[in-house]
Structure 1
Amino acid sequence: MRQIRTRVPRDARQAVTTALTDADIEYLVSEEASGRDAVIVEIPVPGGGVDPILELLYDAGLDEDAYTVVSEVETAGATTQAVADLEERYVAGPKGESGVSYSEIKARAEDLEPGRATYIAFAALAAIVAVAGLLLDSAIVIVGAMVIAPFAGSSLSAAVGAVIDDRGMVIDSVGSQLLGLVVAYAGAVAMSLVLRETFFVPAALAITRVQQVGTFLTPSLLAVVVALAAGAAGALALATDLPVSIAGVAVAAAIVPSAATAGIGTVWGEPLVVAGALALLFMNVVFINVSAFVALVGLGYRDSVTRSVRENLTVSARTGAYALLAVVFVVSLVGVSAVTASYVGFEGTVNREVQTTIDEPAYDGVELVGVSTSFDTGDVLGDETSVTVTLSRRSESEYPELARTLQERISAATDRPVTVQLRFLDYESASEPSG
């Protein structure tokens, strides 16, 4: 709940109070104590109603430069059904056409960002915990890293700055994101180095065989979905009264493990792991920012921006610089999207061919556990790719031609060279003898 308190000149009092009454909005009028020929009008409103009601006051004759304070209140003791009606009319979220005001959504985004020293510390600590979780193959520990990660504010501020036409906010957000990613990567490298050199983790560990590490080696369709959903959820939380910290965990899920995987790959001397994890990280960051912006636009935070652009569009060095930055971002987005689409399409084809092969009667004795892919060189668009297929089987079963069959079918379907590796999880079964 918010409270608008504004100084109204006496000659505008009748028009202002009439407009409020006609709109079924409760208000309180008190004398102005400083001796000015004015009164103070106080109006309790929901968060989403601040901007529309201020516009109503301005249309009624209140000067836009009039002394006005909008504050947050816990209760509205004197209010009745009228305020409940305002909640329905200006609901703070997607059920209505209005969200929280532009000034408030900016303040909420800024409040999410801790001080610079705190931000750096938590970015490093989140990466350290994530490295431990990845090498322990523990999803619970990785979730803990996401909880303490500070990236929600820096990731969402760019979208907020874009929709409210605050260039400084966008620039600060981009700078904070870059700083956080660098710190997280450095923290992951440091933690990985300590664990490796102190022999808490064997130096000979095949990190690509660790299940949690393998999850964050390359972009995938599910990773895109996580990033898009995280950005949209963060924007939705900002535009409502929901705690953004909930969506912040999803934002961190798209960032922290990838940065930690890149750090692990650096220490273990695996450049392909580093390249794949960084590609995934960059893709996630881009899609979080884009989806947050699109979500805010969808919630209605766009009219003032387009109007401002139309009114203030001029050709200048600054305009050219911003245009260049926009072009660079769009090109980067297109590039990331193209690579991601190529990989996702390849991954889908691989999964289909593997499933089709395993469904054949000759392989009734095996069950598909999982399929993973990784690139054998840095070029994800054309070079050879490794496909690892994990299967469960009875210990006495043998399938000597399965790897070759899969390799030939996948290569033919994707029109690119692949290497297929099979991993079998053997099991034995016993039953109670009859009789």
Structure 2
Amino acid sequence: MDDDVRDSVVAALDGEGATYAVVPDAERVDSAFVEIPVPDGAVDPVLAYLYDNGVDEDAYTVVVDSERSESTVNDHLAERFVEGPKGNRGISHVEIRQRAEDLTPGRATYLAFAALSATLATAGLLLNSAIVIVGAMVIAPFAGSSLSASVGAVIDDRPMLVESVKDQALGLVVAAVSAVAVAYAVRWTLFVPSTLAVSRVEQVGFFITPTLLALAIAIAAGAAGALALATDLPVSIAGVAVAAAIVPSVAAAAVGTVWGQPVLVLGAVVLLLMNIVFINIAAYLALVALGYRSSVVASTWRDLGPSVRTAGYALVVVGFVAVTAATGAATYSHLAFEQDVNAGVQTTLAQEEYRGLELVGVGAQYDDPGVFASPESVTVTVVSDADTSHPDLATDMQAQVQDATGQNVAVEVHTQDYQRAAAEADSSTPVADRLSGVYRRVAGLFGRTVEDADETADNATDDATGRVDPAPLAVA
């Protein structure tokens, strides 16, 4: 830079109390280089500040990323130029933006991984294999697209927010189409029986109803992902948790579609939307709790005016609010139904004639709010002694569940029989015989031969019983 620009830059840096070095240019007399140690996350803001103070934006600039620095020079510039939480609670806006962008691969790669993860998840559900489903979660690319929306919202990066929403929607569509194609292919090529009761497959049953524990998984996954992202920790494990809340539900909805079970599809879709909504909300709240205060909502409100962009933002907000409200209502309805079902089952088993039964599990079909005419289905599994029978259990349980829920419910009871042979103490064994057995064990520990142990044990038995063996006859 020439002398005039250099003087302007030096004055600006002196005004900020920054430490710097001016190095003369060996090739040009009226030129020099300025070297400035800058804290993490302050490179772009400091450059913008220098551009405002006379530096040409096309000026020769070199940024060197140091692996380690022992100096605290210019750390005070972070207070002036670095947006983000103060102290050690979170990284700067620039860094968290970069980390969020690095989580999402290129568009073609992202869609390919979305399709492959949905394919694996569908195969895992139909094979009833938890290991295959975990593999699908590992390769799923939805962590970056889900967390980027929250990052864009808190650092006031509207393009990142919009891009994240688009990526999430596009990825889910591709995953759903892939899962439907795979399910259709394996059903009609008879790799899986077309008459398979998919709703009874254990792994499918885990992902077709929104439960309170599933809600806890979504909240924990979103918060963990945001915490790892903002504190410069590995996000891969949290990414698996995010995928666990998304990919299997997509596959379950696809399986229900191919097998023609609308209630299964509705339950899986509600679970999927619940997970997506609460992952985004939990991630946003976690970042706010870490100190990220800039809000895209406040910025948009300040810049509100009649324009195509404003209309687009309004549509996105209205759509998100509508999906959140509908998902929240549907989730609450099913959770209330599930709680009433559990209460009815518990009331039945508390009756005197059923006190010998042990409850193993309760499965409630998704409670569609009057969308389909079929009655709701409840499956109860109990353990019973094989010597007893309870022919009226299903009828009694249906009455209690219907009374608790106020709905027409079909109840199916699975009974697992068992037989028990209890061990009894043998009180008739003499004390001397017991002492003999104990002595044999102790003698064995000390290396005595079995014959010696038996002889000594017999003597102990004789002493205890008062019996005296006759003297041996002398043989000439």
- TM-fit CA distance, 1:251: 0.8
Is residue 187 of structure 1 aligned with residue 181 of structure 2? no
- TM-fit CA distance, 1:189: 1.9
Match of 2:390 among 399, 406, 427: 399
- State the partner residue of 1:74: 67
Is residue 237 of structure 1 aligned with residue 234 of structure 2? no
Q: Check whether the contact 1:10–1:39 (CA below 8 A) recurs between aligned residues.
A: no
Per the alignment, do residues 125 and 29 of structure 1 end up closer, same or farther by CA in structure 2, a change over 3 Å counting? Answer: same
Per the alignment, do residues 419 and 272 of structure 1 end up closer, same or farther by CA in structure 2, a change over 3 Å counting? Answer: same
Per-residue deviation, residues 395-422 of structure 1 (Å, max 9, x unmatched): 2322222222222222222222222111
Separation in 1, partners of 2:219, 2:55: 38
Per-residue deviation, residues 280-315 of structure 1 (Å, max 9, x unmatched): 112212222222222223323233646634653333
CA RMSD of aligned residues (A): 3.7
Per the alignment, do residues 317 and 46 of structure 1 end up closer, same or farther by CA in structure 2, a change over 3 Å counting? Answer: closer
Per the alignment, do residues 83 and 203 of structure 1 end up closer, same or farther by CA in structure 2, a change over 3 Å counting? Answer: farther
- TM-fit CA distance, 1:30: 4.5
Per the alignment, do residues 198 and 434 of structure 1 end up closer, same or farther by CA in structure 2, a change over 3 Å counting? Answer: farther
Per the alignment, do residues 9 and 275 of structure 1 end up closer, same or farther by CA in structure 2, a change over 3 Å counting? Answer: same
Per the alignment, do residues 227 and 317 of structure 1 end up closer, same or farther by CA in structure 2, a change over 3 Å counting? Answer: same
Q: Check whether the contact 2:83–2:92 (CA below 8 A) recurs between aligned residues.
A: no
Q: Check whether the contact 1:161–1:169 (CA below 8 A) recurs between aligned residues.
A: yes
Is residue 31 of structure 1 aligned with residue 23 of structure 2? yes
Is residue 319 of structure 1 aligned with residue 319 of structure 2? no
- State the partner residue of 1:367: 358
Q: Check whether the contact 2:153–2:297 (CA below 8 A) recurs between aligned residues.
A: no
Per the alignment, do residues 233 and 83 of structure 1 end up closer, same or farther by CA in structure 2, a change over 3 Å counting? Answer: farther
Aligned AA for 2:318?
V
Secondary structure at the aligned position of 1:290 is classed as helix
Q: Check whether the contact 1:134–1:213 (CA below 8 A) recurs between aligned residues.
A: yes
Matches within 5 A, 1:260-299: 260-299=251-290
- State the partner residue of 2:474: none
Q: Check whether the contact 1:376–1:384 (CA below 8 A) recurs between aligned residues.
A: no
Per-residue deviation, residues 175-233 of structure 1 (Å, max 9, x unmatched): 22122112212222222233323433222221111111111112111111111221222
Matches within 5 A, 1:83-232: 96=87, 99-232=90-223
Aligned AA for 2:179?
A
Per the alignment, do residues 299 and 376 of structure 1 end up closer, same or farther by CA in structure 2, a change over 3 Å counting? Answer: closer
Is residue 339 of structure 1 aligned with residue 336 of structure 2? no
Secondary structure at the aligned position of 2:324 is classed as helix
Per the alignment, do residues 11 and 82 of structure 1 end up closer, same or farther by CA in structure 2, a change over 3 Å counting? Answer: closer
Secondary structure at the aligned position of 1:200 is classed as coil
TM score, norm. by length of structure 1: 0.82
Match of 1:257 among 248, 254, 261: 248
Separation in 2, partners of 1:382, 1:54: 65
Extract unaligned runs of 5+ from structure 1. 1-7, 22-26
Which structure has the greater CA radius of gyration?
2
Aligned AA for 2:68?
T
Q: Check whether the contact 1:258–1:277 (CA below 8 A) recurs between aligned residues.
A: yes
Per-residue deviation, residues 74-125 of structure 1 (Å, max 9, x unmatched): 222xx157799999xx999989475222222222212111122222221121
Separation in 2, partners of 1:176, 1:271: 27
Q: Which moved more, 1:95-104 or 1:394-403?
A: 95-104
Aligned AA for 1:16?
L
Per the alignment, do residues 403 and 240 of structure 1 end up closer, same or farther by CA in structure 2, a change over 3 Å counting? Answer: same
- TM-fit CA distance, 1:58: 5.7
- State the partner residue of 2:413: 422
Separation in 2, partners of 1:378, 1:345: 12
Separation in 2, partners of 1:240, 1:229: 16
- TM-fit CA distance, 1:427: 2.1
Per the alignment, do residues 83 and 213 of structure 1 end up closer, same or farther by CA in structure 2, a change over 3 Å counting? Answer: farther
- Identity, % of aligned pairs? 51
Q: Check whether the contact 1:130–1:260 (CA below 8 A) recurs between aligned residues.
A: yes
TM score, norm. by length of structure 2: 0.76
Separation in 1, partners of 2:246, 2:227: 19
Match of 2:36 among 30, 38, 42: 42
Separation in 2, partners of 1:433, 1:398: 26
Separation in 1, partners of 2:111, 2:90: 31
Separation in 2, partners of 1:305, 1:338: 26
- State the partner residue of 2:13: 16
Q: Check whether the contact 1:393–1:425 (CA below 8 A) recurs between aligned residues.
A: yes
Per the alignment, do residues 309 and 128 of structure 1 end up closer, same or farther by CA in structure 2, a change over 3 Å counting? Answer: closer
Per the alignment, do residues 29 and 395 of structure 1 end up closer, same or farther by CA in structure 2, a change over 3 Å counting? Answer: farther
Q: Check whether the contact 2:377–2:411 (CA below 8 A) recurs between aligned residues.
A: yes
- State the partner residue of 1:385: 376
Separation in 2, partners of 1:73, 1:204: 63
- TM-fit CA distance, 1:349: 2.4
- TM-fit CA distance, 1:64: 9.7
- TM-fit CA distance, 1:32: 5.8
Separation in 2, partners of 1:17, 1:427: 85
- TM-fit CA distance, 1:71: 5.6
- TM-fit CA distance, 1:72: 4.0
Separation in 2, partners of 1:14, 1:361: 89
Separation in 2, partners of 1:233, 1:32: 49
Per-residue deviation, residues 349-372 of structure 1 (Å, max 9, x unmatched): 222332343244432322111111
